[in-house]
Amino acid sequence: IIILSISILMINKVAATTIGFSQVGSESGWRTSFSESVKAQAQARGIELKFSDAQQKQENQIKAVRSFIAQGVDGIIIAPVVETGWKPVLREAKRARIPVVIVDRNIKVKQQSLFLTRIASDFEEEGEKIANWLMAQTKGECAIAELQGTVGATAAIDRAKGFNRVLAKFPKSKIIRSQTGEFTRSKGKEVMESFLKAEQGGKNICAVWAHNDEMALGAIQAIKEAGLKPGTDILIVSVDGVPDYFKAMAEGEANATVELSPHLGGPSFDAIEAHLAGKKVQKLISTTGDLFTQDTAAAEYQKRRLQ
Ligand code: GYE
């Protein structure tokens, strides 16, 4: 019996999967929900999770991945800050035969075998959806102030690309100001304050297009402090669908957003577990979200608050 229980203990030990997760940071409400979803999923599946917060710096992510490799984890999940600069560390993981899942933002590497799969939303489509809504709302005539996301991050690059593609069809619309707000509320507010000063207190601005809700919420604050009504005097559009933004829409201070699911933990673990079980994993697992406006915001806020 003793030998049997010792061996069962040993098997159990061997069986517990250890996964390292390098997360961007906690710059937005969306990001925080995403981290929580990964932690909850790990717990539900009995996975030992090594969580590392990079505080929006790629160098911290590279260090974390190296330490995961040194610890001999069974799999690595990277939510990359920026697209470039990943080749060396991914090669190290490959040499150590550790599968890597890229989640959310993209990476630029020629050799696709450097990672197992990518799980992400179609950011270009998000940009297109919100631009189409804004153009319909303003009859194609709008001077736009853009709050960009983190420089070099797919979510910023592709959302801008999709938005601008639609905008190109409307000659009476234009982006008149554009700057990064680094996906944070405080920077979004700060940049919006400077836009308002530069545009005669905001009278020239028809809409704010923020690459995420968090910056939009900062911009709303700045607009209110400048004595204008966000959502009315200046339209507010963005992406993510965080509860705070639904609340702002319900209160008439924001106009539209495209929801992005933060529940990326489950599919990431699914991919690694399938791979470890010898199954084939498809190269891109893509998700997309719907557009929400003020009409349903109050009800949607209640739903999300209870989650
Ligand atoms: O929209 C933003 C976050 O990469 C898609 O990063 C993600 C973005 C998300 O901080 O809120």
Q: How far is the CA of 244 from the centre of ligand 1 (A)?
A: 15
Mutate to test the pocket of ligand 1, among 31, 130, 148 (most ligand atoms within 8 A of CB): 31
For residue 235, give the nearest of 255, 212, 252, 215 by alpha carbon: 255
291-293: strand order across its sheet = 173-180, 142-148, 207-210, 235-240, 256-259, 291-293
For residue 236, give the nearest of 109, 133, 120 by alpha carbon: 133
Give the residue whose CA is nearest to atom 1 of ligand 1.
212
For residue 121, give the nearest of 102, 104, 106, 108 by alpha carbon: 104
CB distance 221 to ligand 1 below 6 Å:
no
Q: Which two tokens stand for residue 259?
A: 């929801």
> Could you give the CA distance from residue 118 to residue 98 in angstroms, rounded to a whole number?
15
pLDDT digits (tens, 9 = 90+) for 7-51: 655 555 555 899 999 999 999 999 999 999 999 999 999 999 999
Q: Does the structure's ipTM exceed the value 0.95?
A: yes
pLDDT digits (tens, 9 = 90+) for 97-143: 999 999 999 999 999 999 999 999 999 999 999 999 999 999 999 99
Output b/e per residue, 114-135; b: 16+ Cβ within 10 A. bbbbbbbbbbbbbbbbbbbbbb
> Could you give the CA distance from residue 41 to residue 264 in angstroms, rounded to a whole number?
9
For residue 123, give the nearest of 92, 89, 164, 91 by alpha carbon: 164
Q: How far is the CA of 170 from the centre of ligand 1 (A)?
A: 27
Would the pLDDT of 2 be above 80? no
Q: How far is the CA of 140 from the centre of ligand 1 (A)?
A: 27
- Residue 122: what residue type? D
Q: How far is the CA of 19 from the centre of ligand 1 (A)?
A: 22
Q: Between 255 and 3, where is the model more confident?
A: 255
Alpha carbon 307 to its chain's center: 19
Is 179 in contact with 208 (CB distance < 8 Å)?
A: no
Give the residue whose CA is nearest to atom 2 of ligand 1.
212
Mutate to test the pocket of ligand 1, among 22, 24, 27, 28 (most ligand atoms within 8 A of CB): 28
Specify the residue for token string 């993209």: 106
> Could you give the CA distance from residue 57 to residue 15 in angstroms, rounded to a whole number?
33
Q: How confident is the model at residue 287 (pLDDT cuts 50, 70, 90)?
A: confident
> Could you give the CA distance from residue 227 to residue 161 in angstroms, rounded to a whole number?
32
The mean of the pLDDT values for the chain is 95
Q: What average pLDDT score do residues 143-165 get?
A: 98
